[in-house]
Structure 1
Amino acid sequence: MRIGDKMKLQRLEAVRGVAAVYVALGHSISSKALILSFGQEAVIVFFLLSGFVIEYSSAKTLDRGFKYYFQKRFIRIYSVLLCLFLVATLLEKPSITSLNFWKQLGGNLLMLQDFESGKPNVIVPTLFASALWSLHYEWWFYMFYFPIATKLKREKQTFVVGITGMFAAITYLIYPNAISRLLFYFPIWWTGVVFARAYVQRNKVDWRNAVVPFVFLIGTSLILSIGCIQHIIGGGRFTPGIHPFLELRHIIASLIIICAALAWQKARWIGFKQILGWGCWVAPISYAIYISHQPLFVDAHYLKGYINPIAEKLFYLLGLILFSWATELWLYPKLKKTGYTAPLMVRH
Structure 2
Amino acid sequence: MSIQPPPPRAQPLQRLRSLDGLRGVAAIVVVAYHSLLISPTLSGIVLANQVAEPGSFWDVLLNSPLRIFIAGNEAVIVFFVLSGLVLTLQVRRERDFNWGTYFPRRLVRLYLPMFASIVFAVIVTLLLHRDREASDSLWVQFYTYPDFDPKFAIQAADVFNGTPDFNSPLWSLRWEVLFSLLLPVFVLIASRGRKLAWAAIALAPLVVLIGYEYTVLPLVYLPAFIVGIALAKLFGVRDATIDAAQLAQPVTPWWGHVAWFAGAVASLFLLILHWLLQPQYGANTHVAFVSSALIVLGAAGIVTVAARWKPAVRVLSLPPIHWLGRISFSLYLVHAPILIATANVAHDLPWPVQAIIGVAISFGVAELFTRFVDVPSHRLSKKIGRTAPAPAARASTPAA
TM-score (norm 1): 0.66
Change over 3 Å in CA distance of 1:254–1:312 after alignment to 2: closer
Determine the C-alpha separation between the residues in 1 that align with 2:363 and 2:386.
33
Root-mean-square deviation (CA, aligned residues, Å) is 4.7
Q: Larger deviation: 250-259 or 283-292?
A: 250-259
Q: Which residue of 1 aligns with 2:326?
A: 284
Determine the C-alpha separation between the residues in 1 that align with 2:361 and 2:213.
49
SS of equivalent to 2:12: helix
Change over 3 Å in CA distance of 1:340–1:163 after alignment to 2: farther
Determine the C-alpha separation between the residues in 2 that align with 1:183 and 1:16.
18
Kindly indicate whether the alpha-carbon contact (under 8 Å) linking 1:22 and 1:36 is maintained by their aligned counterparts in 2: yes
Change over 3 Å in CA distance of 1:198–1:320 after alignment to 2: closer
Determine the C-alpha separation between the residues in 1 that align with 2:299 and 2:212.
20
Q: Which residue of 1 aligns with 2:185?
A: 147
The one-character-per-residue Cα deviations of 1:290-320 (angstroms, maximum 9, x if unpaired) are 122111x222249826999879745565334
Determine which of 277, 298, 308 is the counterpart of 2:339.
298
Kindly indicate whether the alpha-carbon contact (under 8 Å) linking 1:168 and 1:183 is maintained by their aligned counterparts in 2: no
Question: Unaligned regions of 5+ residues in structure 2, if any?
Answer: 1-7, 40-57, 127-144, 257-266, 388-400
Determine the C-alpha separation between the residues in 2 that align with 1:274 and 1:325.
22
2:314 is aligned with 1:272? yes
> Equivalent residues in 2 for 1:1-348 (5 A)?
3-30=10-37, 34=66, 36-61=69-94, 63=96, 65-93=98-126, 97=149, 101=152, 105-106=154-155, 108-112=156-160, 125-150=163-188, 153-155=191-193, 158=197, 161=200, 165=204, 168-169=207-208, 171-172=210-211, 175-198=214-237, 237-238=282-283, 244=289, 247-257=292-302, 260-261=305-306, 265=309, 268-269=310-311, 272-273=314-315, 277-295=319-337, 297-301=338-342, 304=345, 313=358, 317-334=363-380, 336-340=382-386
Kindly indicate whether the alpha-carbon contact (under 8 Å) linking 2:204 and 2:227 is maintained by their aligned counterparts in 1: no
Deviation at 1:194, TM superposition (A): 2.2
TM-score (norm 2): 0.59
Aligned residues: 302
Determine the C-alpha separation between the residues in 2 that align with 1:25 and 1:180.
27
Deviation at 1:287, TM superposition (A): 0.8
Deviation at 1:289, TM superposition (A): 0.9
Q: Which residue of 2 aligns with 1:119?
A: none
Question: Unaligned regions of 5+ residues in structure 1, if any?
Answer: 113-122, 208-217, 342-348
Residue identity in the other structure for 1:111: V
Greater Rg by CA: 2
SS of equivalent to 1:111: coil
Determine the C-alpha separation between the residues in 1 that align with 2:219 and 2:109.
26
Deviation at 1:70, TM superposition (A): 0.7
% identical equivalent positions: 21
Q: Which residue of 2 aligns with 1:210?
A: none
Residue identity in the other structure for 2:232: V
